[in-house]
């Protein structure tokens, strides 16, 4: 007869391989979708759960609010967008990680990266640009107050009546000679 405890504790061989390949991405949740190495997808891919890709994708992948792991066998020609992106395989296209983008040692990325945090392991190949953005912080009361000393210094330095001092690079120019002290 068979022992129920032995069967319940045994894992199929394919499941143990999947778990070992995912072990390098600890941020993945239990409800992670998997695209295997023999799968080819052409078009737009979106989802509301974490995704592990080890196959081929052409088009775009949009996982706002969820994590994406590009496995070591993946070959992706797509625009990637997710909360967190970990790349171990090949990606040709722009990558947008709302929180972070990480390139592992085996990663080959050609494209631009937009994220708040960026990490690259030694040995990874990357060709493109990185735009690291900060979280938008609330404006403090002191930062919102105009700096009166800076204005008076710029007004005093303009001694000629035709002197023009722009208030900011994108705003229209203001003539200092028209201002009263």
35 domain-assigned? yes
Per-residue pLDDT tens over the stretch 107-119? 999 999 999 999 9
Q: What is the pLDDT of residue 135?
A: 73
Decide if pLDDT at 173 tops 50. no
pTM recorded for the entire structure: 0.61
Question: What total of structural domains would you count in the chain?
Answer: 1
Question: b/e for 98-120, b at 16 or more Cβ within 10 A?
Answer: bebbbbbebbbbebebbbeebeb
On the CB side of 44, CA atoms within 13 Å amount to 2
Domain-located, residue 18:
yes
The whole-chain average pLDDT of the chain stands at 74
178 lies in some domain: no
Residue 181, in any domain of the structure: no
Evaluate whether residue 134 is within a structural domain.
no
pLDDT at 65: 92
Domain residues for 103?
A: 8-128
Residue 161 lies in a domain: no
Q: What confidence tens digit (pLDDT) does each residue in 151-167 have?
A: 444 444 444 444 444 44
177 occurs within a structural domain: no
Within-domain flag for 174: no
């Amino acid at each position: 007869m068979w022992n129920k405890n032995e069967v319940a504790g045994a894992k199929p061989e394919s499941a143990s391989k999947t778990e070992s390949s995912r072990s390098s991405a600890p941020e993945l949740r239990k409800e992670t979708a998997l695209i295997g190495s023999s799968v080819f997808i052409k078009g737009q891919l979106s989802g509301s759960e974490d995704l592990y890709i080890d196959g081929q994708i052409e088009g775009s992948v949009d996982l706002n609010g969820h994590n994406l792991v590009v496995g070591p066998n993946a070959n992706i020609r797509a625009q990637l967008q997710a909360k967190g992106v970990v790349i171990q395989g090949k990606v040709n296209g722009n990558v947008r990680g709302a929180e972070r983008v990480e390139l592992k040692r085996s990663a080959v990325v050609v494209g631009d990266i937009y994220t708040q945090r960026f990490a690259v392991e030694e040995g990874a190949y990357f060709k493109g640009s990185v735009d690291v953005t900060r979280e938008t912080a609330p404006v403090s009361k002191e930062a919102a107050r105009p700096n009166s000393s800076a204005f008076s210094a710029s007004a005093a330095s303009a001694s000629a009546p035709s002197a023009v001092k722009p208030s900011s690079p994108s705003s229209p120019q203001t003539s200092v000679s028209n201002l009263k002290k």
